[in-house]
Amino acid sequence: MKIFRVLIVLVIVAFGCNTANKTPEAENTTKIMTNEVTKPTDIKVKGVNEVFVSSNDQMQFDKTEIRVKSGHKVTLTLRHKGMMSKIVMGHNFVLLNKGVDLVKFAQKALSAQDHNYVPLGSKDVLAYTKIIGGGERVSITFDAPEKGTYDFLCSFPGHYAMMKGKFIVE
């Protein structure tokens, strides 16, 4: 019965939110969380691939393909444009190693709730962000892997089916 009440509240929150009156000032008042980098900048740094990915309350990334240059660092910023908390609609960005089965990884990730849904010490993962909720942002910096195509996903339970894409290193 308690689960039923929670589901009803979630449906009301998801469909009852009015974002039409959002002002530009409200858009700029986001919480900043970081793994390694404090804030993304608009200044291009030579030898750094800057990548910006947005997510929302409808379990979507705004990109299904990301292209970066090999031999450079990658600064990736994930922004959650939704309004729901990370407990209900959390998102992260997980870059998998070549050849890792995305579905099997997502199933293993279910047991890693205390570690941002990324199995601790996993050799399947090249880079990942923390789980964030609505209005939050997180940035990470890592070395671009060798040339090739890699999978990325959100490993929050059940999100991988819709929130995935290709990370292409040229």
CATH of the domain at 114: 2.60.40.420
> What's residue 26's pLDDT?
36
> What's residue 70's pLDDT?
94
Asked if pLDDT for residue 149 goes beyond 50, the answer is yes
Residue 12 lies in a domain: no
Mean pLDDT in residue range 25-47: 42
Q: How many domains does the chain have?
A: 1
Residue 2 lies in a domain: no
Mean pLDDT in residue range 22-26: 37
Residue 18 lies in a domain: no
CA distance 122 to 48: 26
> What's residue 47's pLDDT?
77
> What's residue 4's pLDDT?
42
Predicted structure pTM score: 0.75
Residue 157 lies in a domain: yes
> What's residue 157's pLDDT?
97
Nearest CA to 93 out of 107, 104, 108, 109 is that of 109
Mean pLDDT in residue range 2-9: 44
Range of the domain at 51: 33-169
Mean pLDDT in residue range 85-108: 97
| Spatial contact of 169 and 148, defined as CB atoms under 8 Å apart | yes
> What's residue 46's pLDDT?
66
Residue 133 lies in a domain: yes
| Spatial contact of 99 and 125, defined as CB atoms under 8 Å apart | no
CA distance 120 to 140: 17
Residue 5 lies in a domain: no
When pLDDT is cut at 50, 70 and 90, the band that residue 62 belongs to is very high
